Chains A and B, each alone.
Chain A
């Protein structure tokens, strides 16, 4: 794992507890910026951050751009997915053209796994932040999920996340449900929760949760109801609808019956169990309305925490954390 401070954020695989806590603590210090009258700090004044979305995701792009602006960075926003970049121009060409504008950081979303790793090789002097690459990693999602869990557990204890460090994760039982095989969120979540000391279990249909996933240091289960009893934190994954049409599961309906967090299952949950979803939700498939809108659900907090966590990531990579 390369260091996040002064470096890139490409993956959470191999990240250690100290690095994660560093990001979470930094993010916590940025939370209060949101409550100021002027919601800005001068940390990245004069720095240029490009958000480059080869795959459209308005919410993630806005979250990153808001974060960059709150740090007083100049933001260049390129929705490449909708622009003229067509087949024929290589990824290297596109990146080199944009680099020529003079950049400090690139926030990159791409449908291909490994794209941010490649871009970091093409433009080694630019800090690259992976905003989701194919089925590989979505590191800031993993970090904001951990941040949100820590925030809630700390509140329950009447303390702050910063004071608790990683202690609240020791032995915490985290369940990840659904299409684990194709999920970049699952890969990042598993890495971050394991780094923090949690026990992670994955559950889903056999095609989407291969039994070999024990190699990731997680438990593998095919029994959702038993797993819900076990779990203290439940991370639902978005089922990509193209995987629901007979290729990986017989139907979305069957998936929902066996692996959806339905309103019927909601009634069996321990009241303290936390339910998370990276969005956008397929209501009625992996999550029912009643669950999404219940007291268990941290979905709104996840979205809100996206900004301070991404501020922390931009700040630590670009400014290296110096001069605070």
Chain B
């Protein structure tokens, strides 16, 4: 199928969506228009479908190296393709963490033989321990644009400050997992009526908001670029939007699960519902959905975080945190957006 035409779909561009055919030859788009005369080409009926650029996931845990029983670069890439993705960013909380040129090069290499484009987000600190800076300069020279200790945040404000200062002239962006670890001690779900009822330790919304506020203050001090990973409360998003209105270079993402699942999903103690940051109050879920519909979310990123099935057959407090996302993110966004809104869907994915 080296030459084919996507016939009868709605082609979605950055500013408009209209009915058009798309002719593809040897993997390149040759022409877009109505009733194209394409010569010899395979016809693909796209009536009723949206035709647009493949999605890009900013946040995928591919588990390689170290936890290949849960996911590999190739299996994660296949999941991405199933979900409509053409590129994804592999997160660095592997074992060992992606904190060196050789490890990052290896992941990029494996990514090249996968089903889609794989970029790497490298660690901010050595071993993601939050102490010494990883070789951000060498990694930036290799082409890494995004750095994060995701899985946990950089807890020490001085280390975070130094990282922002060091990253600024490199032109790279730091991505923070915003949860104050000490406020989350012993916590396995959102702190609130449900956690108290279920007898599960809480991770309060304030733990996220304090870290967001702190990092925005640091960013104001240092300059540079900051990305806030998987914001899950209305207030955290509000802080980010206010900081940007003020002129700070801050971006943020929200996950599909925080758009549709609230804390009550933990009531059956199914560890599938265990995720960090946790599923929040219904009011936050509703507010994030409203922000999505208003076009105020920068991106929906999956935080696709697979674990081997048997690890999720443990008690809720012992099971690892993390949900899948690549295969269903688009359906979730579509559902939350509601009406026929292809531009909004392609903008956030």
Contacts and interface: CB of A to CB of B under 8 A. Distances in A.
A92 B310 contact: yes
A118 interface: yes
B55 interface: no
Interface string A210-236: 101101100000000000000000000
Contacts of A133: 199
Nearest to B309: A90
Given A91-B313, A110-B315, A134-B317, A117 B196 contact: no
A135 interface: yes
Given A93-B310, A114-B200, A136-B198, 6 more contacts: A90-B311, A91-B313, A113-B199, A114-B269, A117-B269, A137-B199
Contacts of A134: 199-200, 315, 317
B43 interface: no
A117 B316 CA distance: 10
Interface in B312-334: 313-318
A79 interface: no
A87 to B, nearest CB: 9
Contacts of A117: 268-269
Nearest to A134: B199
Interface in A203-258: 210, 212-213, 215-216
B193 interface: yes
Interface of B: 193, 196-200, 268-270, 310-311, 313-318
A103 interface: no
A300 interface: no
A193 B318 CA distance: 31
A106 B306 CA distance: 31
Interface in A82-137: 90-93, 110, 112-115, 117-118, 121-122, 133-137
B69 to A, nearest CB: 13
A101 B318 CA distance: 26
A231 to B, nearest CB: 23
Given A90-B314, A114-B315, A187 B193 contact: no
Contacts of B315: 91, 110, 112-115, 118, 134
Given A90-B310, A118-B269, A113 B317 contact: yes
Contact of A113 (B193, B200, B270, B313): B200
Interface residues of A, number: 28
A61 interface: no
Interface of A: 13, 90-93, 110, 112-115, 117-118, 121-122, 133-137, 181-182, 184, 187, 210, 212-213, 215-216
A114 B196 contact: no
A134 B269 CA distance: 12
A122 B196 CA distance: 25
A89 to B, nearest CB: 9
A91 to B, nearest CB: 6
Contacts of B193: 212, 215
The 10 lowest CB-CB distance pairs between A and B, nearest first, are A114-B269, A112-B315, A136-B199, A135-B199, A92-B313, A90-B313, A113-B199, A90-B310, A117-B269, A115-B315
A117 B199 CA distance: 13
Contacts of B269: 113-115, 117-118
A118 B200 CA distance: 14
A13 B196 contact: no
B57 to A, nearest CB: 29
Contacts of A215: 193, 196
Which interface residue of A90, A115, A121, A184 has the most chain B CB atoms within 10 A? Answer: A90
Contact of A112 (B196, B311, B317): B317
Nearest to A133: B199
Given A114-B269, A117-B269, A215-B193, A184 B313 contact: no
7 contacts: A112-B315, A114-B269, A115-B269, A117-B268, A122-B313, A136-B199, A216-B197
B284 to A, nearest CB: 17
Contacts of B268: 117, 121
Contacts of A91: 313-315
B198 A112 contact: no
A21 to B, nearest CB: 24
A184 B314 contact: no
Given A93-B310, A117-B269, A210 B316 contact: no
